[in-house]
Amino acid sequence: MSILTASGLAMHFGAQDVFAAVSLAVAHGDRVALVGANGVGKTTLLRILAGLEAPSQGEVHMARGLRIGYLPQRPEFTGEARLYDEMLGVFGDLRAQQAELQRLEAAMADPAQHEEALARYGELQVRFEAAGGYEYENRIKHTLLSLGFAEDDFEQPLALLSGGQRTRALLARLILSAPDLLLLDEPTNHLDVAAIEWLEETLVAWPGSVIVVAHDRRFLDVVTNRVWELSFGQLEEYPGNYTKYVQLRAERHARRLQEYEAQQEEIAKQEDFIRRNIAGQRTREAKGRLKRLERLERLERPAEERTLHLALQSGDRAGETVIYTRRLVVGYDDDAPAGGRRLFSSPDLRLRRGERAALLGPNGSGKTTFLRTLLGEITPLEGEAHLGYNVHLGYFAQAQEGLDPARTVIEEILATKNLLLGEARSFAARFLFRGDDVFKPIGALSGGERARVALAKLTLQGANLLLLDEPTNHLDIPSQEALQAVLERYGGTILFVTHDRWLVDALATQVWVVEGDRLQVHPGGYGAYVAAREQAAAAAKAARKPSGSPQPQPAPEERVAARERARAAKAAAALEEEIVSLEARLQELQGEIDAAGLRQDLERVRALGEEYAALSAELEQRLEEWSGQQSVQLSGS
């Protein structure tokens, strides 16, 4: 049975048609993903279904008494209410019952009122307990903590919360109020991975219905069981989750294209017959075919969304080690007596050429600070962080701080690489800036448009190391898919910060996670990291249980093998240090050779060249030794 239906919905803004002839139905228990490129009207459709905006045409019908909760992208709160008080407001009825129970407890102390108060108290207490009266305060605390708030935030006035905190506060209130239908517009914005996973679990078990707009593909895959695609002003429905939708969409598009091409082929054949025979002996048959052709309902070629056309070249070959750290502590040295703000410490890291590391962790844990430390913009609190030999860096900043708000799109592109104006405009078109769009100032662009300009600049730099800070933020799903495809083909090294687990699963060869005040390194992709995390949790749970029998000791041969592995690992670490030193010296020598060449000191150039050749040969030998050690370790593990 449907709890909400809509028929013939259309929306126009002046001469612009956003969508038309949209009909839909939502049943109890449906969890629907509303997807489509930016600007197709997803938010407008949600607002119409929420009753906050009237359609230009069509009607929306709701079941009697239907309670709808709506999460906008930018919620506003007024007044001086505290965060925790706002959550308490959801439970007004329970709090009134609680106050009445307290009054009855006092009345029971009066012998004259005892019997009547006792009878009333017992009846009310049963209802209060059944409605969750003894649990609602724990629910509030659990929900706020799960969405990334600290207990210190509970007393904060809503008016002082950041935009992201306000979104999370309204999301918490909606979840606690448990409406029959949740309409969520980008609920995963401003959530870290742990909060997203908690929200997934909550929505999968949600007793009501959900319609969600989100750019998080894994979130949609886990949560939803139907997909509505809003594209070219029309709404199409697909059964199943996001993965199923991608498959069915491709099949549906291929089938429609095949039908269109078959019809075009048949039309061409009929037109050729008519042309050859309209004035000949078979003129009657030709005229009959012409009439049938005129009455034919012609299929339209299936439209395709405009998508980014990216190409990333990795430039010159970097050294074997691209990023390395020693005893690193990440934080801010603000000259405080305690030595600045410490964020996390790190094991000694080695990111090698061609590897792809995903950096995960809670909001505010220091991920962006770590990238800026590698860039040299922030000095480590302790230790060292270095880039390797012949590394050419490309950096994508989360807030696109490298863009000049006063420049236009075309000026930003030309500032990165000297192109002819026609070449620059053609290049901008690959990032969906066409016509006069290239003359828009950066300061007037949306978040998604700014991200596309930053990606355009990145592709022109020829970097062999990419540091990417939330590269899929503000990008719609088609743009995310295009970016993912080009990063998969990229031949260089990547270190990327993201909450996009779909991207991590597709790209990462290792996962670095900030856990508390320590960075942990997990080999393998996101699936391997999740498996290791679950295994560690299970082991910790088992360790808490009392054991009735002593743990078995490893056999002598296992202890010998363990010592051999430790010795091999130590030797490999020493060899890695030597490789890093050789690469650093080669980089210094290259600079000295260039300087001597400018001075035309040929003798010095010759001597340096001989040293460079000898060190290069030594480096190749050490790399072969290192590769051999890795092969032995892998075969023994």
Instruction: Go through 232-270 and write b for each residue having 16 or more CB atoms within 10 A of its CB, e for each that does not.
Output: eeebeebeebbebbbebbeeeeeeeeeeeeeeeeeeeeb
Residue 303 belongs to some domain of the structure: no
The answer to whether residues 444 and 362 belong to one domain is yes
> Contact 348/324 with Cβ under 8 angstroms?
yes
Q: Which residue, among 200, 177, 190, has the nearest Cα to 93 in the 3D structure?
A: 177
Residue 131 belongs to some domain of the structure: yes
What is the pLDDT, as a whole number, of residue 525? 85
The answer to whether residues 412 and 493 belong to one domain is yes
Residue 529 belongs to some domain of the structure: yes
- pLDDT tens-digit series, residues 550-589: 555 555 556 556 666 667 667 767 777 777 777 777 777 7
The Cβ of residue 96 has, within 10 Å, a number of other Cβ atoms equal to: 10
Instruction: Go through 399-434 and write b for each residue having 16 or more CB atoms within 10 A of its CB, e for each that does not.
Output: ebeebeeebbbbbbbbebeebeeeebbebbebbbbe
634, HSE (Cβ side, Cα atoms, 13 Å): 6
Q: Which residues contact 132 (CB under 8 A, 6 or more apart)?
A: 94, 139
Q: Are strands 393-396 and 465-469 parallel, antiparallel or unpaired?
A: parallel
Quote the domain boundaries for residue 289: 253-295
The answer to whether residues 36 and 71 belong to one domain is yes
Q: Which residues pair with 331 in a beta bridge?
A: 342
366, HSE (Cβ side, Cα atoms, 13 Å): 25
What is the pLDDT, as a whole number, of residue 337? 47
Q: Are strands 209-213 and 31-35 parallel, antiparallel or unpaired?
A: parallel
- Overall domain count for the chain: 5
Residue 444 belongs to some domain of the structure: yes
The answer to whether residues 135 and 214 belong to one domain is no
Q: Are strands 226-231 and 31-35 parallel, antiparallel or unpaired?
A: parallel
CATH of the domain at 10: 3.40.50.300
What is the pLDDT, as a whole number, of residue 621? 79
The answer to whether residues 529 and 393 belong to one domain is yes
The answer to whether residues 17 and 139 belong to one domain is no
636, HSE (Cβ side, Cα atoms, 13 Å): 16
Domain boundary among 151, 182, 199: 151
Residue 546 belongs to some domain of the structure: no
Residue 545 belongs to some domain of the structure: no
What is the distance between the terminal CA atoms of the chain, rounded to a whole angstrom?
57
Domain boundary among 535, 568, 601: 535
What is the pLDDT, as a whole number, of residue 88? 93
The answer to whether residues 493 and 389 belong to one domain is yes
Domain boundary among 489, 504, 535: 535
The answer to whether residues 143 and 166 belong to one domain is no
The answer to whether residues 531 and 563 belong to one domain is no
The answer to whether residues 459 and 599 belong to one domain is no
Query: Could you report the average pLDDT of every consecutive run of 10 residues in the chain (637 residues)?
Result: 91 85 93 90 93 93 94 80 92 91 87 86 89 91 93 89 88 94 92 91 94 93 94 91 92 91 92 88 89 90 75 77 91 63 91 92 89 91 89 83 85 86 86 85 82 84 88 84 87 91 92 92 88 83 64 58 66 74 77 76 81 81 68 50
The answer to whether residues 220 and 73 belong to one domain is yes
The answer to whether residues 273 and 127 belong to one domain is no
What is the pLDDT, as a whole number, of residue 72? 92
What is the pLDDT, as a whole number, of residue 27? 93
Q: How far apart are CA 195 and CA 190, in angstroms?
A: 9
Q: How far apart are CA 491 and CA 354, in angstroms?
A: 6
Residue 57 belongs to some domain of the structure: yes
Residue 39 belongs to some domain of the structure: yes
**In the sheet that 2-13 helps form, which strands lie side by side, from edge to edge?**
16-27, 2-13, 57-62
Report, in angstroms and rounded to the nearest whole number, the Rg of the chain calculated over CA atoms: 32
